């Protein structure tokens, strides 16, 4: 039997303090929180940084460190700093040391790093997953960060160091929760299934933003208990969480095997707790881990103009298409390159779906967002400046008086810096689960 | 013919990782599920995305009154052509389908 306390779906999303304290009173065996996701896009992995404010992360992590000290159990964070890159683990380690010094509590910290050498990965034998992009060895070598997703085995190794706090680089959302129940010999199918249900905290219950969730694992199944006032788990809310951000709601691939929940049963124990049994873990012959990578895909400059004149609003698409054509020709003539990308999106008309939009209506105004992408920031800026007079003055017809449109700022161009691309959706086979990971222990205080 | 969204409780679309999109159609009741499930044609959904239905995965889940459809993401998340980082807007296009 293993009791796992999950404060929320991610560090940085806050948690209900009263519910967390209730969780501590219930004497958990471990406190586990996820720190990352690919859901906010490739820039975080590309840059190796967190999406959340340092101040928010620090306040929430300090609260969890206090709770950990009170409970006397390990505290684990997975995919530290949104992306789990080595720099994000170092950032989290620095925060942890800073808080430990402020709290005056000695702690033993383990870090599990997942970063990979892009040059080595470019030469490695990778298997593409369904939907993987076509990539060359050069694309892989050009990644600014590549991470491998740790499974339960690597998290277990980190737990075995006896550390109070474990900061994991990239790890599967489930592995950080499943590791201790698996180590304790609880039902393997239940360990992975309960981990999947719990990985977003109370998102598997009513009042999903309340965060704090308790999952009890044992020899035959697991029990879900949301801890905030007004939060209730029902068989429906728990089962439905298998749909969440999952392409397949019944089969979940993990390092070393897959979870099959097709025969799982969901039973209400009372009006807030749900019991789940019948899930199966199917081990695989080879031990594979997924890898993720991001590389710079260019530099962007964005400019916006507002169309409010009725005739221009009605003819916005033709106006924008004409500008794009003329601006591209001028850039080619003046900069002598075709290696750039100009796109004008019509916010208020079809910016969400472009040509796939099915609705047509005439709004009062349209926000025209011009997005320039080029191999260097200097070139992107030059191109945006060539585009500028068109966005300001381009007429629908040659005969009419020169029009002027609204710019929001001076200058209207906004530098976005590098834009990143997810480059890898592949797996890599390891002889030993620790082969792609590095475990270190740091004593503090 | 009716708009799908008028027949169901909610249509949700989300990223399922950077390379897949998943659409969950919560019918809300057994009665609504019975109406919607046979009328929602996967090929018609694929047409909304301008894609081939052969690449789509569909799960009809009567216990939850849910139809789940997953597809390779129309553009890879965060690519320069991507219009919606979190993939949430696609639900509107599916919800507005006439079925």
Residue B33, pLDDT above cutoff 80? yes
What is the 3-state secondary structure of chain A? Answer: CEEEEECCCCCCCCCCHHHHHHHHHCCCCEEEEEEECCCCCCHHHHHCCCCCCHHHHHHHHHHHHHHHHHHCCCEEEEEEEECCCHHHHHHHHHHHHHHHHHHCCCEEEEEEECEECHHHHHHCCEEECCCCCCCCHHHHHCEEEEEECECHHHHHHHHHCCCCEEEECCECCCHHHHHHHHHCCCCHHHHHHHHHHHCCHHHHCCCHHHCCEEEEECCCEEEEEECCCCCCCCHHHHHHHHHCCCCCCCEEEECCEEEECCCCEEEECCCCCEEEECCEEEECCCEEEEEEEEEEEEEEEEEEEEECCHHHHHCHHHHHHHHHHHHHHHHHHHHCCCCCEEEEEEECCCCCCHHHCCCCCCCCCEEEEEEEEECCHHHHHHHHHHHHHHHHHCCCCCCCCCCCCEECCCCCEEEEEEEEEECCCEEEEECCHHHHCEEEEEEEC
What local confidence, expressed as pLDDT, does residue A3 receive?
Answer: 98
Say yes or no: A246 contacts chain B, CB-CB below 8 A: yes
What local confidence, expressed as pLDDT, does residue A444 receive?
Answer: 83
Q: Dihedral of CA A123/A129/A130/A131: which sign?
A: negative
Average pLDDT over residues A122-127: 92
What local confidence, expressed as pLDDT, does residue A211 receive?
Answer: 81
Do the strands A438-444 and A107-113 form a parallel or antiparallel pair, or are they unpaired? antiparallel
Q: Dihedral of CA A127/A133/A136/A139: which sign?
A: negative
Say yes or no: A36 contacts chain B, CB-CB below 8 A: no
Residue A313, pLDDT above cutoff 80? yes
Residue B71: closest C-alpha in chain A: A247
Instruction: Report the distance separating Cα A46 and Cα A254, nearest Å.
Output: 24
Say yes or no: B6 contacts chain A, CB-CB below 8 A: no
Pairwise CB contact (< 8 Å): B19 & A131: yes
What local confidence, expressed as pLDDT, does residue A352 receive?
Answer: 97
What local confidence, expressed as pLDDT, does residue A144 receive?
Answer: 98
Instruction: Report the distance separating Cα A341 and Cα A383, nearest Å.
Output: 9
What local confidence, expressed as pLDDT, does residue A201 receive?
Answer: 85
Instruction: Report the distance separating Cα A411 and Cα A391, nearest Å.
Output: 13
Say yes or no: A244 contacts chain B, CB-CB below 8 A: yes
In Å, how far are A293, A341, A391 from A422, measured between CA atoms?
6, 18, 31
Distance of CA A219 to the CA centre of its chain: 32
Pairwise CB contact (< 8 Å): B57 & A247: yes
Average pLDDT over residues A367-396: 98
Q: What is the DSSP letter of B55?
A: G
What local confidence, expressed as pLDDT, does residue B17 receive?
Answer: 95
CB-based contact A112:A79 (threshold 8 Å): no
- Cα dihedral: A161, A165, A170, A173 (round 10): 100
Residue A242, pLDDT above cutoff 80? yes
What local confidence, expressed as pLDDT, does residue A206 receive?
Answer: 80
Residue A209, pLDDT above cutoff 80? no
End-to-end CA distance of chain A: 33
Closest of A163, A196, A167, A201 to residue A181, by C-alpha? A196
Higher model confidence: residue A320 or residue A200? A320
Pairwise CB contact (< 8 Å): B77 & A422: yes
Average pLDDT over residues A340-345: 98
Average pLDDT over residues B17-35: 97
Q: Which residues in chain B touch residue A352, judged by CB atoms under 8 angstroms apart?
A: 83-84, 89, 92-93
Residue A294: closest C-alpha in chain B: B78
A3: Cβ contacts below 8 Å, ≥ 6 apart: A26, A27, A28, A29, A30, A214, A215, A216, A217
Average pLDDT over residues B50-68: 96
What local confidence, expressed as pLDDT, does residue A361 receive?
Answer: 84
Instruction: Report the distance separating Cα A365 and Cα A363, nearest Å.
Output: 5
Q: What is the pLDDT of residues A288-300, one digit of tens each?
A: 999 999 999 999 9
**A98 phi, psi to nearest 5 deg:** -60, -45
Q: How confident is the model at residue A431 (pLDDT cuts 50, 70, 90)?
A: very high
Pairwise CB contact (< 8 Å): B78 & A250: no
**B72 phi, psi to nearest 5 deg:** -55, 135
Optimal mutation site among B19, B74, B84, B94, interface A, most CBs of chain A within 10 A: B19
Residue A382, pLDDT above cutoff 90? yes
Work out the minimum CA distance from A68 to partner chain B, whole angstroms: 31
Lowest model confidence (mean pLDDT) among A126-135, A162-171, A191-200, A421-430? A126-135
In Å, how far are A8, A263, A440, B27, B35 from B38, measured between CA atoms?
38, 24, 55, 12, 7
pTM for this structure? 0.95
- Cα dihedral: A338, A357, B32, B26 (round 10): 40
Say yes or no: B44 contacts chain A, CB-CB below 8 A: no
């Amino acid at each position: 039997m293993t009791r796992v306390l999950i404060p929320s779906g991610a560090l940085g999303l806050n948690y209900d303090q009263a519910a967390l304290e209730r969780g501590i009173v219930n004497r958990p065996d471990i406190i586990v929180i996820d720190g990352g996701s690919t859901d906010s896009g490739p820039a975080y992995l590309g840059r190796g940084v967190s999406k959340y404010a340092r101040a928010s992360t620090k306040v929430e992590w300090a609260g969890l460190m206090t709770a950990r000290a009170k409970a006397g159990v390990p505290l684990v964070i997975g995919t530290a700093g949104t992306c789990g890159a080595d720099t994000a683990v170092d950032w989290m380690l620095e925060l942890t040391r800073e808080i430990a010094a402020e709290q005056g509590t000695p702690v033993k910290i383990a870090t599990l790093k997942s970063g990979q050498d892009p040059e080595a990965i470019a030469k490695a034998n990778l298997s593409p997953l369904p939907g993987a992009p076509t990539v060359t060895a050069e694309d892989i070598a050009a990644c600014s960060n590549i991470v491998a997703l740790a499974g339960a085995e690597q998290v277990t190794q980190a737990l075995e160091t006896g550390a109070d706090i474990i900061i994991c680089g990239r790890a599967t959302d489930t592995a950080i929760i499943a590791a201790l129940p698996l180590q304790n010999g609880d039902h393997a199918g239940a360990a992975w299934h309960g981990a999947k249900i719990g990985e977003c905290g109370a998102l598997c219950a009513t009042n999903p933003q309340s965060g704090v969730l308790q999952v009890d694992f044992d020899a035959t199944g697991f029990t879900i208990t949301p801890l905030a006032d007004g939060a209730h788990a029902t068989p429906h809310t728990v089962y439905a969480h298998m749909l969440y951000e999952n392409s397949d709601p019944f089969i979940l691939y993990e390092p070393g095997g897959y979870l099959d929940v097709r025969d799982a049963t969901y039973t209400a124990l009372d009006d807030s707790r749900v019991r789940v049994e019948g899930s199966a873990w199917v081990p695989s012959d080879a031990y594979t881990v997924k890898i993720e990578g991001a590389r710079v895909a260019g530099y962007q400059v964005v400019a916006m103009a507002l169309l409010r004149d009725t005739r221009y609003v009605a003819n916005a698409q033709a106006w924008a298409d004409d500008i794009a054509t003329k601006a591209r020709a001028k850039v080619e003539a003046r900069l002598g390159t075709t290696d750039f990308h100009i796109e004008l999106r019509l916010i208020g008309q079809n910016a969400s779906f472009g040509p796939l939009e099915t609705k047509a209506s005439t709004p009062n105004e349209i926000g025209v967002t011009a997005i320039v992408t080029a191999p260097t920031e200097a070139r992107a800026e030059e191109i945006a400046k060539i585009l500028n007079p068109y966005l300001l003055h381009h007429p629908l017809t040659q005969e009419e008086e020169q029009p002027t449109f609204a710019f929001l700022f001076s200058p209207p161009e906004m530098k976005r810096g590098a834009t990143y691309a997810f480059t890898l959706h592949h797996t890599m086979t390891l002889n030993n689960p620790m082969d792609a990971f590095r475990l270190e222990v740091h004593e503090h205080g | 013919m009716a708009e799908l969204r008028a027949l169901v409780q909610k249509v949700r679309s989300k990223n399922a990782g950077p390379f897949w999109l998943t659409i969950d159609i919560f019918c809300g009741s057994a009665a609504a599920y019975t109406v919607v499930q046979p009328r929602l044609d996967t090929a018609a959904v694929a047409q909304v995305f301008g894609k081939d239905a052969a690449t789509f995965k569909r799960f009809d889940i009567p216990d939850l009154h849910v139809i789940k459809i997953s597809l390779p993401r129309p553009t890879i998340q965060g690519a320069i052509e991507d219009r919606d980082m979190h993939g949430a807007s696609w639900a509107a296009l599916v919800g507005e389908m006439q079925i």
